[in-house]
């Protein structure tokens, strides 16, 4: 029921209210496994992409979003299930691989998967160096990668704010990148780095962001 409401009500209402500028919808393959590699500016990015993409897009989401209690917990769980989010634990290396395995299962099932190669959202607007998990997925699954650039989402829901604001959003879907010549080389660190850097260049060309040339690390808790 929630998925039907999201498709028939939430999606058109959100588009009518925010009037997003969407470019390159025809670049997203309508069938088969595909990776959408996206720059990351705001928590709300994982809401904007499913509402603007031409097909369902699955994301990985923190397991905590699915385990809350009370009305808020049920609402969170229903929402993330409605946008095809997959719960994963975050933290140690073996958990990171488990998350990639969950994403691989999505791709091998012929579905679309969205990933933020930067790892965490950019707080200063720069585009950070991509982590190679996206390349591992592309080379293991043998699927194309569509670079995606978001702009304006950080103004809808700034860090520390809970209520979204009315701001202009732009979503650009780029030309699919084909790495079939490197298929099967997911075990090569050199190949993963090469593929990841090419993906990040494509995202930067779409977004126009200043490259940071370093990894974006999650701020340590006090």
pLDDT tens, residue by residue, 109-132: 999 999 999 988 999 999 999 999
Report which of residues 212 and 43 the model is more confident about: 212
Check: CB of residue 65 under 8 Å from CB of residue 87: yes
Tokens of 209: 């962001």
Q: Say whether pLDDT at 26 is over 60.
A: yes
Per-residue pLDDT at 105: 94
C-alpha 109, offset from chain centre: 18
Alpha carbons 113 and 94: distance in angstroms, whole number: 20
The pLDDT of 43-55, averaged and rounded, is 88
Question: pLDDT above 90 covers what percent of the chain?
Answer: 54
pLDDT for 19: 72
Q: How far is CA 103 from CA 118, 124, 132, 162, in A?
A: 16, 28, 14, 29
Give the containing element (helix H, strand E) for 137. helix 133-141
Mean pLDDT throughout 34-57? Answer: 92
Whether residue 205 contacts residue 175, with contact meaning beta carbons closer than 8 Å, is answered with no
Whole-structure pTM value: 0.85
| pLDDT band for position 5 (cuts 50, 70, 90) | very low
Residue 144: count other Cβ atoms within 10 Å of its Cβ. Answer: 19
Residues 2-8 have a mean pLDDT of 47
Looking at per-residue confidence, does 183 or 22 come out higher? 22
């Amino acid at each position: 029921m929630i998925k039907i409401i999201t498709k028939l009500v939430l999606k058109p209402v959100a588009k009518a209210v925010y009037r997003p500028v969407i470019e390159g919808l025809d670049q997203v393959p309508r069938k088969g496994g595909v990776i959408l590699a996206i720059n990351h500016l705001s928590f709300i990015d994982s809401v904007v992409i499913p509402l603007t993409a031409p097909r369902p897009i699955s994301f990985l989401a923190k397991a905590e979003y699915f385990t809350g209690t009370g009305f808020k917990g049920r609402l969170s769980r229903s929402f993330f299930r409605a946008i095809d989010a997959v719960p994963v634990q975050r933290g140690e290396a073996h958990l990171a691989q488990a998350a990639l395995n969950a994403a691989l299962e999505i791709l091998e099932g012929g579905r679309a998967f969205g990933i933020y190669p930067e790892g965490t959202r950019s707080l200063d607007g720069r585009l950070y160096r991509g982590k190679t998990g996206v390349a591992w997925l592309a080379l293991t699954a043998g699927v194309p990668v569509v670079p995606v650039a978001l702009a304006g989402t950080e103004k809808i829901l700034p860090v520390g704010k809970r209520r979204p604001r009315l701001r202009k959003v732009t979503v650009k879907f780029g030309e699919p990148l084909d790495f079939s010549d490197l298929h099967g080389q997911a075990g090569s660190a050199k190949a993963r780095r090469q593929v990841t850097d090419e993906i990040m260049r494509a995202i930067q060309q779409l977004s126009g962001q200043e490259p940071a040339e370093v990894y974006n690390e999650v701020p340590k808790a006090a």
